């Protein structure tokens, strides 16, 4: 990797919290869907297509629009808060799992002098990193709270990645993006980054390429072995 920095998405790349997010979305949305006679929230298709990698409210609004469901703003916000409460409860009861191969890859890059950053649409990024024992692996961090404070647009806009590159002091053309979400790889492409690595966690390799991934791997162990 002929770059000076690498920017990693958190959920689904570093930690296994993507499936916890999906579980929380399902628990929050299924009662609403059942009342309206609609199919339940799909842990894979609906999660990947509508909410993965996006700010909570953006993802929820996109999902509801796709299902043709109109809700008042206070109802939407209440659903989003319900989802977050469920997510935090699952984290507390089940803990945080990491992808050990991803942690090893980050360490390999840092050992070669490549600066690293982590991004997340979640407002719980610090808590998750701390619980995973990975807080010290990154030179910069941009999460949902910072994005809101700075007025950064959510993915597929590249704002959060561009902010992370700026905090690292690296031009996008000298940085790589590592993402598992379709919105995330599209954001990397839009931002003009040197390389966009798509991590295929759910059989969507072609979709990742179509959205902007220049390289697709099933696991970062493949890149660590080649490094």
Active site residue 58: no
- Of 222, 216, 6, nearest in space to 110 by CA: 6
Active site residue 9: yes
As a whole number of Å, the CA-based R_g of the chain is 17
Beta strand ranges found along the chain (DSSP E)? 5-9, 115-119, 140-142, 175-179, 195-199, 215-217
**Residue 4: what are its φ and ψ, rounded to 5°?**
-100, -15
Instruction: Spot the catalytic one: 2, 4, 11, 180.
Output: 11
Q: Is the peptide bond before 156 cis (omega within 30 degrees of 0)?
A: yes
Instruction: Spot the catalytic one: 9, 46, 52, 159.
Output: 9
- b/e per residue, 53-70, with b = 16+ CB within 10 A? bbbbebbbbebbeebeee
Active site residues: 9, 11
């Amino acid at each position: 990797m002929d770059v000076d920095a690498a920017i990693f998405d958190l959920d689904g790349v570093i930690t296994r919290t993507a499936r916890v997010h999906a579980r929380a979305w399902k628990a929050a949305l299924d009662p609403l869907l059942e009342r309206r006679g609609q199919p339940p929230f799909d842990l894979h298709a609906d999660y990947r297509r509508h909410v993965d990698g996006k700010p909570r409210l953006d993802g929820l609004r996109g999902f509801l629009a796709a299902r043709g469901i109109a809700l008042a703003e206070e109802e939407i916000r209440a659903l989003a808060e319900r989802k977050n409460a469920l997510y935090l409860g699952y984290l507390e009861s089940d803990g945080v799992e990491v992808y050990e191969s991803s942690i090893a890859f980050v360490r390999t890059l840092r050992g070669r002098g490549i600066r690293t950053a982590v991004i997340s649409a979640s407002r719980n990024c610090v808590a998750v990193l701390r619980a995973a024992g990975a807080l010290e692996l990154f030179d910069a961090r941009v999460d949902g709270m910072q994005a809101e404070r700075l007025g950064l647009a959510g993915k597929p806009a590249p704002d959060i990645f561009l902010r992370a590159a700026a905090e690292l002091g690296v031009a996008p053309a000298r940085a790589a993006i590592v993402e598992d979400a379709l919105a995330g790889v599209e954001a990397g492409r839009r931002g003009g980054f040197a390389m966009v690595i798509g991590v295929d966690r759910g059989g969507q390799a072609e979709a990742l390429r179509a959205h902007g991934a220049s390289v697709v791997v099933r696991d970062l162990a493949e890149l660590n072995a080649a490094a």
